[in-house]
C-alpha cells in the first residue's frame, strides 16, 4: 500500500535546524522500516542518512524513533506502525543529531564506560572460580543488551536529569555486580546508588523500547535495589522515613482526614470474622459480589474516589465487600528493594482474601494500580516463599468494568453528558499489571460529551513511582510538570487517569506551578469520579465532602 513517510531531515552543511520531509512509498507486507529507508535512499533521495548494519536486530546501529517511540528500524514491520496510513521517523533524542537520523552516540557510550564495565577478578589465583550454569544464565539475560540507545532515548528520567546512569548502564552494572567472580561487587552497587539507582520511577519505558526484551525493571533495577539493601547502600534516608511510617501505621500515608472505610458506619458488619462494610443499596438481586481493596492513598487521601467507585457499583447492581482493615500491599518496600520486610503484609492480605474466597466472594478488586500490580506480580512468588498459595483472581476496578461491559452487565445507557476535552494518562502500574491502555480508553470513549485526545507520545511519566517522590522530589516534580505541559500543548483541559499516585503527583505539580506564580489552568480528572458523574452520582451512597 501507499504509505506516507514523514522523516526528520537535517544536514548541518545546509540547514539551520531539522525539518520534516514528506515522502511516499509503496510498502508491501514484510517490509521493515529499515527496508523502507533503504528503498527511499536507493530510489528517491540518496542523501537520506541513517545508520544500519546487520539488519537482523543484533548490531544495534539502526535505533530511531518511529511515531515518537524508540525502536530498531530493522526489527519494525512498517505496516504494523502506521497511523492513518502514515509513519513518522525521527532520530533518537537526548543525543545530538549529527545528520538526519544519525545522532552522536558518544555521551551514551560514556554512561557505559563510567561503570567500569569489565570483570575484575582476584589475580592472585591462576584460574578464576567457575560459575554455575544458573548464575551464567542469570547474567546472560541481561547481557542481551546491544547498546542501541533506544532505552536512553525513551527514558523519562534522562529527559530531566542527565546525571542519571540510564537503563543500559544499569544493566551493564548488573552484569558485573551480580557475577560471583567479580571482586568489586559491593563497590559497584555503592557507585550505582550514587549515580541514580533510586532515580528510576519504575515506569518501564525502557522495557518497551528495548529490542531485546530485557526485563529492566524486575530483573535488573529492582534486583539491584535488593542487592543494595543487602549491602547496606539502600534504601535512601528518605525511603527509610516513609518505611518507618508504614511500619508504624500499616499504611503508606498517615491518617489526616477520615479514611473512606470509616465513612459508612451504618454499613459495618462481621463477615466470617472479618470486619467489613457491605454495600448493597439497589433493589433486587446483585449481578455479582466483589471485594474492594482501596489501597492506602484512596482510603486516606482520595475518599471521593472511593465514594465514586461505590457509586459506580451500586448503579450497576454490584454488591461490594470492603474489609475495614486495609493493610498496605507493601509496594513501597518492594520498589526500594526491601524484600525481607514483606512477610507481614503478604500474610495479612492473604488471610483477608482467603476468607472471602473461601466464603464465595472470589473476585478481588483493587482501585489502586500500584496495589494491583503488586498483588498480581509480586505476591504469588513471595507467598510461595512463606508457604502460602496466593492464587486469587485480582482485578483492577476499570478492568472489571470492561469485563462487565463485555458481559452486558455494565449499564452504559442514558449516561449523562460530561463535557470536557482530555487526554488519558496511562499509569505504568496498570501496564505492569498487563492491562492494555485500550481497556481504559475504550471505556472513556463511551461517556457522552468527552473529547479524548490521544497522542502517540503517551509514554510519559508522572514521576510518582519507585520511591522517587520520597528520595528525589525534584525529578518527580519535573516529570509531573513536563507530562502536564505536553498534554496542555495538545489543547486539552486536563489529564484523566486512574492511578492515585499519578493524581497526587500531578496535583502537587499544579500546586508548585501556582506557588511559583505560573498557574497552569489545567486540571486532573479522576477516572472513577468522571464515571460516577456520568452515571448521575445518584447512587444510594453520596460522595462525601
Partner 1 sequence: MIIHDLLILGGGLAGMRAALEAGKNVDVAVISKVHPLRSHSGAAQGGIASVLDRSQEIGDSLESHIKDTIKGSDYLGDQDAIEILCNEAPGDIRILDRMGALFSRTGEGLIAQRDFGGHSYARTCYASDKTGHILLQTLYEQMMKHNVKVYPEWHVVSLITHENTCRGLVAYDMARGELQVFRAKAIVFATGGYGRAYGITSNAHANTGDGLALAYRAGVPLQDMEFVQFHPTGLYRHGILITEGARGEGGYLINNDGERFMERYAPNTMELASRDIVSRAVQTEIDEGRGIDGYVHLDLRHLGKELIMSRLSQIHDIVLSFSGIDCTRYPIPIQPTAHYSMGGIPADAYGRVPDIDGLFAAGECACVSVHGANRLGGNSLLETIVFGRRAGITASEYVKKTTLRPMPPDTLPLVEHEINLMMNGKGKENAADIRMQLQSNMILKCGIFRDIDGLTHMQQLIIALKERFNNIGFRDRGMTFNTELVEALELKNMLDFSETIVAGAMAREESRGAHARTDFLMRDDEHWMKHTLAYRGEQGPVLDYKPVTMTRYGPQRRMY
Binding footprint of partner 1 on the chain (CB under 8 A): 11-14, 30, 32, 41-43, 45-47, 49-61, 75, 77, 98-99, 102, 104-105, 109, 113, 117-119, 121, 127-128, 130-133, 136-137, 139-140, 143-144, 146-147, 176, 179, 181-182, 213
Closest distance of CB 211 from partner 1, Å: 9
Sequence-distant (6+) residues with CB within 8 A of 84 are none
Cβ distance 412 to 405 under 8 Å?
A: yes
Q: Please identify, using beta-carbon distances, which residue of 139 and 202 lies nearer to partner 1.
A: 139
Q: Among positive and negative, which fits the CA dihedral 34, 35, 39, 42?
A: positive
Closest distance of CB 114 from partner 1, Å: 10
Q: How many helices (DSSP H) and strands (DSSP E) are in the chain? A: 23, 17
Q: Please identify, using beta-carbon distances, which residue of 15 and 474 lies nearer to partner 1.
A: 15
Q: Please identify, using beta-carbon distances, which residue of 46 and 232 lies nearer to partner 1.
A: 46
Closest distance of CB 223 from partner 1, Å: 17
Q: β-pairing, 274-279 with 318-323?
A: antiparallel
Q: Please identify, using beta-carbon distances, which residue of 148 and 479 lies nearer to partner 1.
A: 148
- Cell triple for 327: 493493610
Q: Please identify, using beta-carbon distances, which residue of 14 and 419 lies nearer to partner 1.
A: 14
**CA 271 to CA 537: how far, in whole Å?**
28
Q: Please identify, using beta-carbon distances, which residue of 58 and 420 lies nearer to partner 1.
A: 58
Q: Please identify, using beta-carbon distances, which residue of 49 and 348 lies nearer to partner 1.
A: 49
Category of 337 on φ-ψ map: left (φ > 0), alpha (ψ -120 to 50) or beta:
left
Closest distance of CB 328 from partner 1, Å: 36
Closest distance of CB 56 from partner 1, Å: 4
Beta pairing partners, 70: 65
CB atoms within 10 A of CB 186: 15
Closest distance of CB 147 from partner 1, Å: 5
Cβ distance 167 to 239 under 8 Å?
A: no
Closest distance of CB 135 from partner 1, Å: 8
Closest distance of CB 156 from partner 1, Å: 25
**CA 479 to CA 545: how far, in whole Å?**
30
CA distances in angstroms from 303 to 196, 205, 298, 314, 463, listed in the order given: 34, 30, 6, 17, 22
Q: Please identify, using beta-carbon distances, which residue of 4 and 141 lies nearer to partner 1.
A: 141
Q: Please identify, using beta-carbon distances, which residue of 102 and 412 lies nearer to partner 1.
A: 102
Beta pairing partners, 21: 7
Q: β-pairing, 288-293 with 363-366?
A: parallel
Residue that has been written with the C-alpha cell 487526554 in this structure: 423
Closest distance of CB 157 from partner 1, Å: 23
Per-residue b/e over 302-325, b at no fewer than 16 CB within 10 Å?
Answer: bbbbbbbbbbbbbbbbbbbbbbee
**CA 296 to CA 294: how far, in whole Å?**
7
C-alpha 31 chain-centroid distance: 31
Closest distance of CB 287 from partner 1, Å: 38
Q: Please identify, using beta-carbon distances, which residue of 43 and 515 lies nearer to partner 1.
A: 43
Q: Please identify, using beta-carbon distances, which residue of 136 and 244 lies nearer to partner 1.
A: 136
Beta pairing partners, 290: 320
Closest distance of CB 1 from partner 1, Å: 17
**CA 276 to CA 541: how far, in whole Å?**
16
Calculate helix-pair angle for 133-142, 167-177, nearest 10 degrees. 170
Closest distance of CB 167 from partner 1, Å: 16
- Detail the DSSP E strand segments found in 212-342: 268-271, 274-279, 288-293, 318-323
Q: Please identify, using beta-carbon distances, which residue of 181 and 218 lies nearer to partner 1.
A: 181
Closest distance of CB 186 from partner 1, Å: 18
Q: Please identify, using beta-carbon distances, which residue of 49 and 347 lies nearer to partner 1.
A: 49
**Residue 115 backbone dihedrals phi, psi, to 5 degrees:** -90, 15
Closest distance of CB 92 from partner 1, Å: 14
DSSP 74: G
Sequence-distant (6+) residues with CB within 8 A of 470 are 236, 238, 239, 241, 242
Q: Please identify, using beta-carbon distances, which residue of 53 and 358 lies nearer to partner 1.
A: 53
**CA 494 to CA 485: how far, in whole Å?**
10
**Residue 20 backbone dihedrals phi, psi, to 5 degrees:** -100, 135
CA distances in angstroms from 65 to 32, 94, 524, listed in the order given: 14, 12, 29
Amino acid at each position: 500500500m501507499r504509505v506516507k513517510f514523514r522523516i526528520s531531515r537535517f544536514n548541518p552543511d545546509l540547514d539551520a535546524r531539522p525539518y520534516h520531509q514528506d515522502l511516499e512509498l509503496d510498502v508491501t507486507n514484510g517490509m521493515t522500516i529499515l527496508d523502507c529507508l533503504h528503498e527511499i535512499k536507493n530510489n528517491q533521495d540518496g542523501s537520506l542518512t541513517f545508520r544500519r548494519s546487520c539488519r537482523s536486530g543484533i548490531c544495534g546501529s539502526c535505533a530511531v524513533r518511529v511515531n515518537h517511540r524508540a525502536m530498531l528500524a530493522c526489527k519494525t514491520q512498517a505496516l504494523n506502525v502506521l497511523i492513518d496510513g502514515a509513519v513518522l521517523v525521527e532520530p533518537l533524542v537526548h543525543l545530538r543529531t549529527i545528520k538526519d537520523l544519525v545522532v552522536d552516540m558518544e555521551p551514551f557510550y560514556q554512561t557505559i564506560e563510567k561503570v567500569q564495565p569489565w570483570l575484575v577478578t582476584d589475580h592472585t589465583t591462576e584460574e578464576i572460580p567457575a560459575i554455575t550454569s544458573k548464575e551464567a544464565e542469570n547474567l546472560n539475560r541481561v547481557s542481551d543488551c546491544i547498546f542501541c540507545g533506544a532505552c536512553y532515548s525513551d527514558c523519562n528520567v534522562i529527559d530531566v536529569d542527565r546525571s542519571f546512569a540510564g537503563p543500559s548502564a544499569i544493566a551493564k552494572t548488573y552484569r558485573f555486580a551480580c557475577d560471583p567472580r567479580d571482586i568489586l561487587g559491593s563497590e559497584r552497587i555503592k557507585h550505582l546508588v550514587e549515580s541514580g539507582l533510586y532515580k528510576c520511577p519504575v515506569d518501564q519505558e525502557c522495557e518497551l523500547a528495548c529490542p531485546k526484551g530485557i526485563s529492566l525493571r524486575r530483573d535488573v533495577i529492582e534486583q539491584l535495589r535488593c542487592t543494595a539493601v543487602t549491602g547496606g547502600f539502600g534504601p535512601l534516608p528518605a525511603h527509610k522515613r516513609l518505611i518507618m511510617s508504614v511500619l508504624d501505621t500499616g499504611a503508606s500515608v498517615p491518617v489526616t482526614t477520615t479514611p473512606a472505610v470509616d465513612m459508612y458506619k451504618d454499613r459495618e458488619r462481621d463477615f466470617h470474622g472479618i470486619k467489613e462494610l457491605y454495600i448493597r443499596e439497589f433493589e433486587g438481586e446483585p449481578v455479582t459480589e466483589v471485594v474492594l481493596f482501596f489501597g492506602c492513598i484512596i482510603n486516606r487521601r482520595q475518599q471521593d474516589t472511593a465514594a465514586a467507585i461505590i457509586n459506580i457499583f451500586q448503579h450497576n447492581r454490584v454488591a461490594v465487600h470492603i474489609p475495614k482493615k486495609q493493610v498496605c500491599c507493601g509496594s513501597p518496600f518492594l520498589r526500594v528493594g526491601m524484600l525481607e520486610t514483606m512477610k507481614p503484609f503478604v500474610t495479612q492480605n492473604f488471610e483477608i482474601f482467603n476468607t472471602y474466597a473461601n466464603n464465595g466472594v472470589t473476585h478481588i478488586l483493587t482501585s489502586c494500580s500500584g496495589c494491583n500490580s503488586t498483588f498480581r506480580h509480586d505476591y504469588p512468588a513471595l507467598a510461595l516463599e512463606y508457604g502460602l498459595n496466593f492464587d486469587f483472581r485480582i482485578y483492577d476496578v476499570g478492568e472489571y468494568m470492561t469485563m462487565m461491559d463485555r458481559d452486558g452487565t455494565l449499564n452504559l445507557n442514558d449516561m449523562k453528558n460530561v463535557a470536557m476535552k482530555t487526554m488519558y494518562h496511562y499509569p505504568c502500574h496498570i501496564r505492569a499489571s498487563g492491562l492494555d491502555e485500550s481497556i481504559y480508553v475504550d471505556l472513556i470513549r463511551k461517556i457522552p460529551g468527552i473529547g479524548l485526545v490521544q497522542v502517540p507520545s503517551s509514554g510519559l511519566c508522572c514521576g510518582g513511582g519507585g520511591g522517587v517522590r520520597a528520595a528525589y522530589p525534584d525529578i518527580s516534580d519535573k516529570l509531573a510538570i513536563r507530562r502536564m505541559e505536553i498534554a496542555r500543548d495538545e489543547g486539552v483541559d486536563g489529564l484523566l487517569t486512574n492511578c492515585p499516585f499519578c493524581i497526587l503527583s500531578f496535583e502537587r505539580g499544579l500546586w508548585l506551578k501556582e506557588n511559583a506564580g505560573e498557574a497552569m489552568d489545567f486540571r486532573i480528572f479522576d477516572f472513577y469520579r468522571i464515571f460516577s458523574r456520568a452515571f448521575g452520582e445518584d447512587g444510594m451512597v453520596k460522595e462525601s465532602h
